[in-house]
Amino acid sequence: MFLFLGNYSKESYTLAEKYMATIELQQVEKKFGELHAVKPMDLTINDGEFVVLLGPSGCGKTTTLRMISGLETVTSGTILLGDRNVTWLHPSERDVAFVFQFYALYPHISARENISFPLRAQRESKEVIDQRVKEVAALLRIEHLLNQRPGNLSGGDQQRVALARALVRRPEAFLMDEPLGALDADFRESMRAEIKQLHIDQHATTVYVTHDQIEAMAMGDRIVVMSEAEIQQAGSPIDIYFDPANLFVAKFIGSPGMNLVSADYTQGVVSIPGTENRYPIPDGWRSPIDESVGGEGKIVLGFRPESAQLMAEGPLSGEVYASELQGAYSVLHVNVNTDDIVHIRTDRKIDYPIGTIVHFDINPQMVRFFNPETEAGIKKEVSQ
Amino acid sequence: MSYLELQNVTKEFPGVIALNDVTFDVQDGEFFVLLGPTGAGKTTTLRIVAGLIKQNEGSVLFDDHPVDDFPPAERDVALVFQQYSLYPTMSVYDNLAFPLRSPMRKLPEDQIRTKVEGTAKTLRIEHLMDRKTANLSGGEMQRVSIGRAIVRDTRIFLMDEPLSNLDFKLREALRVELQHLQKTQGSTTLFVTHDQIEALTMADRIAVLNRGRIIQIGTPEDIYDRPATTFVAQLVGSPRINLVKSQREDGSLLIENSDLHLPMPPDCEVPQEVLLGIRPEDVDIVPEGEFSGQVALTEPLGVETVVHIRSQDQTLVSLMPGLMDFRTGDEIKFNILHDRLHCFDLDGKRVQIK
């Protein structure tokens, strides 16, 4: 599907010209009957920013995007586009462009006519249309395809034409709903880079919805992780990856996600129940942990697969459950007790048979702790 | 003991040759993956092995005996499909027990209980035994489907993209479970997928299939490190391999549209023009690197960073561990690991660099 939403400003400006578009959601809420699709949410998307709404299906990300576009009404709250209150404006009055997963181009007309369609609808002059189509086609490197019909194009090229059609009218903001979802893995990879390149060149405010955490990490200036109709964490890809706010984010981001092991905590030492595994906590963690779970209690030990290193004298150990070659590296799955399998990224030449006992340590800079009751990440003391 | 062999199998559908002279064997206890894009002929192969469709030419052998005239029920294979076909109104226990209660087997109920409970434990679904399958999540349903296949001691497991309908996190988890199960039970398994990560991570050996033909058979390491064609090279690995046209130029290879000259061993026999394959992890960004370029784009994935490097009009993709703090336009130096280069002729066939 593809929609044009916009009031078709007659002014013609150049492609390089910047759009000023902040998007602000103030306590925006959506209910379907008694069910919350989106709980009251505050979010500001800055002018020129690429923000990714990330989460599993049913988390409210698409509903949020549809409320920004006006395709969905809000139950309560306010949406500002620039300094305009657009909460109750019709989609066509908001001047945003929507790109969907399925690039429903008109099959019976050429790529050129598909791209110029919104300009013809707003009755631009032939010169302006030709000029803009030329610019946008050059940007997306589809000049050689302009006379072809969509049916003759590959999936990637069809999505490029769809993007060109969205770009050509220079809306204030782009809203993209899983635009790469329908493409093959390899196209997705190259389109991901192309859309990011496009954003670097154009700096149009973009809200991008996906369930794919790799896409989110690769593209976003900022990622808004959603689950259960609310924001779990909003931050740069680096913040989200290294300092997840809670267990959900820790697990959802990364492939495999962060290792999360249920453990006991007593006076500076973490131990895994039913095993000999003892892990003394690194500097800077003692007082925040004591504060969160008390001097003694349950805790969740978290570490990313690449932050664990196999070593004969490592304080932690387990039994090899499976090992996977992933191309450039391998992942070793290690059973640290009956319930928890941890994933350790290793050199690809390393191969351990199932059942081998391995020892490992965790990079002290990369270890994280969570409170199992609140599921919140515990924050390390800021070092002097 | 179960050993599977396909000899020169050809299958035609009206107007298409779905399989063209396909020959391979799956050893006893082997995890064998058929990998290829949509329409490659993977599922057709699996259905021929199961006896659901019949080939036009060639033969299927189980333990050296042709089974071409056997109906599916007599082939003693267990199938797991992408769509789990469970009985929604039955409990998980009854779904698992179902194949054991069939008129052909008619096991006594106490033996059935032992087997079902053992299977449930292996797949970690003991706590679901009394639930109706309609109330399970996708991952749980697929575990039960797999359970129903493994509960009887079948000769051969045939799996048709069993993980494709699950979300990514579940796929990751079940991949590990399936591999562990297959390794500890030593079952002979033929597994079909279009997902290169599933193939690399689970297989003992992979057959790459394209348009009804086998392109390459080998271990995951063979397929990844020594792809036979550019098709195979591009099919496995993420990000995709860099594939760039290059010209021989007195003792070096010049990558087209760039100023990158790769020194070649003096006595090597490569054609004048080649397609050079460079895996992203073999483009190593280091301060004292022998090549220079500009950063076009970076994609921070957390565990690693994808860096797109520009040299004139050519772009190379590099995969670096950890965080790389570059901005678009930064000048950088890098090495290309020479001993890991892949060379293909212009038809896409691998050329050995001596």
pLDDT, tens digit, 9 for 90 and up, residues A348-363: 877 789 999 999 999 9
Under 8 Å between Cβ of B187 and B138: no
| Collapsed DSSP state (helix, strand, coil) of residue A331 | strand
Q: What is the fold of B242-351?
A: OB fold (Dihydrolipoamide Acetyltransferase, E2P) (2.40.50)
Nearest-Cα distance to chain B for A266, in Å, is 31
Say yes or no: A59 and A121 in one domain: yes
Say yes or no: A234 and A153 in one domain: yes
Q: Which residue of A has its CA nearest to B182?
A: A322
Are A217 and B306 inside 8 Å of each other by CB? no
When scoring B122, B180, B184, B279 by the number of chain A Cβ atoms within 10 A, the one with the most, hence best to mutate, is: B180
Does the pLDDT at position B214 exceed 50? yes
Say yes or no: A237 and A264 in one domain: no
Find chain B residues with C-beta within 8 A of A190's C-beta.
Answer: 240
Q: Write down which residue in A198, A229, A247 finishes a domain.
A: A247
Say yes or no: A302 and A196 in one domain: no
Question: Given this model, what pLDDT does residue A17 score?
Answer: 44
When scoring A201, A304, A324 by the number of chain B Cβ atoms within 10 A, the one with the most, hence best to mutate, is: A324
Q: Assess A189–B contact: CB distance below 8 Å, yes or no.
A: yes
Question: Given this model, what pLDDT does residue B354 score?
Answer: 61
Nearest-Cα distance to chain B for A13, in Å, is 26
Domain that holds residue A292: 256-370
Residue B267 banded pLDDT, cuts 50, 70, 90: low
Q: Which residue of A has its CA nearest to B241?
A: A186
Question: Given this model, what pLDDT does residue A21 score?
Answer: 86
Q: Can you tell me which residue has the tokens 């079902």?
A: B116
Does the pLDDT at position A18 exceed 70? no
Average pLDDT, whole number, for chain B?
91
Say if A375 falls within a structural domain.
Answer: no
Question: Given this model, what pLDDT does residue A16 score?
Answer: 37
Question: Given this model, what pLDDT does residue B105 score?
Answer: 75
Are B237 and A211 inside 8 Å of each other by CB? no
Which residues does B109 contact at the CB level (< 8 Å), separation at least 6?
none
Distance from C-alpha of A185 to C-alpha of B237, rounded to nearest angstrom: 11
DSSP-assigned states of every residue in A226-244:
EETTEEEEEE-HHHHHHS-
Q: Assess A132–B contact: CB distance below 8 Å, yes or no.
A: no
Q: Can you tell me which residue has the tokens 């189509």?
A: A133
In chain A, the percentage of residues whose pLDDT exceeds 70 is: 93
Q: Assess A321–B contact: CB distance below 8 Å, yes or no.
A: yes
Under 8 Å between Cβ of B216 and B338: no
- CATH for the stretch B4-232: 3.40.50.300
Are A214 and B301 inside 8 Å of each other by CB? yes
Average pLDDT (A74-98) is 90
Nearest-Cα distance to chain A for B327, in Å, is 11
Does the pLDDT at position A343 exceed 80? yes
Nearest-Cα distance to chain B for A200, in Å, is 9
Burial group, residue A72, by CB count within 10 angstroms (0-12, 13-18, 19+): middle
Q: Which residues pair with B10 in a beta bridge?
A: B57
* Closest by Cβ to B176, choosing from A242, A252, A333: A333
* Closest by Cβ to B300, choosing from A197, A238, A326: A238
Say yes or no: A190 and A338 in one domain: no
Average pLDDT (A300-310) is 96
Question: Given this model, what pLDDT does residue A6 score?
Answer: 40
Q: What is the pLDDT of residues A90-139, one digit of tens each?
A: 988 888 888 776 667 888 999 999 999 988 888 889 999 999 999 888 87
Distance from C-alpha of A149 to C-alpha of A107, rounded to nearest angstrom: 6
Which residues does A370 contact at the CB level (< 8 Å), separation at least 6?
A246, A247, A250, A260, A299, A300, A302, A376, A377, A378
Distance from C-alpha of B34 to C-alpha of B18, rounded to nearest angstrom: 15
Q: What is the pLDDT of residues A208-242, one digit of tens each?
A: 999 999 999 999 999 999 999 999 999 999 999 99
- Quick one: which of A286, A196, A287, A301 has its CA closest to A247? A301
Find chain B residues with C-beta within 8 A of A328's C-beta.
Answer: 237, 279-281, 319
Nearest-Cα distance to chain B for A336, in Å, is 15
Which of residues 32 through 61 in chain A touch B, CB cutoff 8 A? 56-57
Average pLDDT (B123-141) is 86
Q: What is the ipTM of this complex?
A: 0.86
Find chain B residues with C-beta within 8 A of A363's C-beta.
Answer: none
Distance from C-alpha of A70 to C-alpha of A94, rounded to nearest angstrom: 8
Burial group, residue B72, by CB count within 10 angstroms (0-12, 13-18, 19+): middle
Alpha helices in B281-350 (DSSP H): none
Average pLDDT (A316-338) is 92
Which residue has better confidence, A195 or A29? A29
A331 phi and psi angles, rounded to 5 deg: -125, 125
Distance from C-alpha of A70 to C-alpha of A54, rounded to nearest angstrom: 20
Question: Given this model, what pLDDT does residue A101 score?
Answer: 66
Q: Assess A221–B contact: CB distance below 8 Å, yes or no.
A: no
Structure tokens at B46: 């699996």
Which residue has better confidence, B67 or B99? B67
Distance from C-alpha of B280 to C-alpha of B294, rounded to nearest angstrom: 16
Say yes or no: A237 and A324 in one domain: no
Does the pLDDT at position A29 exceed 70? yes
Are A56 and B224 inside 8 Å of each other by CB? no
Q: How many domains does chain A have?
A: 2
* Closest by Cβ to A218, choosing from B168, B240, B306: B306
Say yes or no: A242 and A312 in one domain: no
Residue B206 banded pLDDT, cuts 50, 70, 90: very high
Nearest-Cα distance to chain A for B241, in Å, is 10
Domain boundaries, chain B: 4-232, 242-351
Does the pLDDT at position A78 exceed 60? yes
Average pLDDT (A306-325) is 94
Distance from C-alpha of B225 to C-alpha of A349, rounded to nearest angstrom: 12
Say yes or no: A24 and A149 in one domain: yes
Say if A381 falls within a structural domain.
Answer: no
Say yes or no: A147 and A292 in one domain: no
Question: Given this model, what pLDDT does residue A3 score?
Answer: 42
Region of poorest pLDDT, from A33-47, A69-83, A161-175, A247-261? A161-175
Are B176 and A324 inside 8 Å of each other by CB? yes
Q: What is the pLDDT of residues A202-213, one digit of tens each?
A: 888 999 999 999
DSSP letter (8 states) at residue B91: B
Question: Given this model, what pLDDT does residue B235 score?
Answer: 95
The CATH number assigned to the domain holding A133 equals 3.40.50.300
Average pLDDT (B34-53) is 94
Are B300 and A333 inside 8 Å of each other by CB? no
Are A324 and B234 inside 8 Å of each other by CB? no
Nearest-Cα distance to chain A for B69, in Å, is 38
Are B299 and A219 inside 8 Å of each other by CB? yes
Question: Given this model, what pLDDT does residue A19 score?
Answer: 47
Are A237 and B167 inside 8 Å of each other by CB? no
Q: Which residue of A has its CA nearest to B323?
A: A238
The amino acid at A310: L
Q: Which residues of B touch A (CB under 8 A)?
A: 37, 167-169, 172, 175-176, 179-180, 183-184, 195-197, 200-202, 220-221, 224, 234, 236-240, 279-281, 296-297, 299-303, 306, 308, 319, 321-323, 328
Structure tokens at B139: 């991952």
Does the pLDDT at position A2 exceed 50? no
A216 to A181, A243, A366, B318: CA distances (angstroms):
13, 16, 21, 19
Question: Given this model, what pLDDT does residue A383 score?
Answer: 65
Of A266-270, A366-370, B271-275, where does the model show the most confidence?
Answer: A366-370
Which of residues 334 through 353 in chain A touch B, CB cutoff 8 A? 341, 345
Greatest Cα-to-Cα distance within chain B, rounded to the nearest angstrom? 78
Residue B1 banded pLDDT, cuts 50, 70, 90: low
Residue B99 banded pLDDT, cuts 50, 70, 90: confident
Question: Given this model, what pLDDT does residue A4 score?
Answer: 40
Say yes or no: A279 and A143 in one domain: no
Long-range interactions of B325-328: CB distance < 8 A, separation 24+ = B326/B295, B326/B298, B327/B295, B327/B298, B328/A200, B328/B295, B328/B296, B328/B297, B328/B298
Say yes or no: A264 and A172 in one domain: no
Q: Which residue of B has its CA nearest to A240?
A: B302
Say yes or no: A55 and A144 in one domain: yes
Question: Given this model, what pLDDT does residue B299 score?
Answer: 95
- Quick one: which of A218, A168, A213 has its CA closest to A194? A218
Question: Given this model, what pLDDT does residue A20 score?
Answer: 63
Residue B119 banded pLDDT, cuts 50, 70, 90: confident
Region of poorest pLDDT, from A8-12, B272-276, B347-351? A8-12
Question: Given this model, what pLDDT does residue A294 score?
Answer: 86
Find chain B residues with C-beta within 8 A of A322's C-beta.
Answer: 176, 179-180, 183
In chain B, the percentage of residues whose pLDDT exceeds 90 is: 65
Distance from C-alpha of A257 to C-alpha of A370, rounded to nearest angstrom: 15
Q: Write down which residue in A227, A247, A267 finishes a domain.
A: A247
Distance from C-alpha of B259 to C-alpha of A106, rounded to nearest angstrom: 42
pTM passes above 0.90: no
Question: Given this model, what pLDDT does residue A11 score?
Answer: 39
Which residue has better confidence, A225 or B184? A225
Are B169 and A251 inside 8 Å of each other by CB? yes
Neighbours of A264 (CB within 10 A): 14
Neighbours of B336 (CB within 10 A): 20
Average pLDDT (B299-312) is 95
Find chain A residues with C-beta within 8 A of B226's C-beta.
Answer: none
